[in-house]
Amino acid sequence: MYNWSIPSGLKAYIDQIMRINETWKFRSSIPDGDYVGLLKNKQVYILSSRGDTGYGQGEKNQHMNFQTNYLELIFSILGVKNIKTLSLDNEEFGGDIFQKGQMEIYHAIKQLK
């Protein structure tokens, strides 16, 4: 998480893959806000890293998490329906609290198989 959003390099990549009539289109062929994703049978794993905690669903800083919501929205517009999101928190603090988070994320990744 970079300032509650995504790094510029990832944004540049997204700007390259968001191609009208190649990866998504308008349902009516005119700009109407009704998007149809053209990527079918795809799966995305979003693994994010955050310096602090509390940005998850229902947590105190959820309203500041523009990273996860943005990425999930972009991939859903592209047509990806199977999106799994995992977040490693407390990177900034290091020590035991971060190691605990690492163990939790390793376990969560193994459960995805």
Q: Which of 74, 99, 75, 79 is nearest to 89 (CA)?
A: 99
Quote the domain boundaries for residue 99: 8-111
Residue 3 in any domain: the answer is no
Residue 1 in any domain: the answer is no
Encoded amino acid at 37, one letter:
G
pLDDT band with cut points at 50, 70 and 90 for residue 108: very high
pLDDT band with cut points at 50, 70 and 90 for residue 112: confident
Residue 64 in any domain: the answer is yes
CATH of the domain at 16: 3.40.50.360
| Interior/surface letters 58-71, b for 16+ CB within 10 angstroms, e for the rest | eeeeeeebebbebb
Alpha carbon distance 46, 67 (integer Å) = 10
Residue 94 in any domain: the answer is yes
Residue 71 in any domain: the answer is yes
Residue 101 in any domain: the answer is yes
Give the global pTM. Answer: 0.85
Structure tokens at 6: 């995504």
Higher pLDDT: 28 or 9? It is 9
Structure tokens at 93: 């603090």
Q: Which of 111, 64, 58 is nearest to 84 (CA)?
A: 111
Residue 66 in any domain: the answer is yes
Residue 12 in any domain: the answer is yes
Number of folded domains that form the chain? 1
Please give the average per-residue pLDDT across 93-110, as a whole number. 89
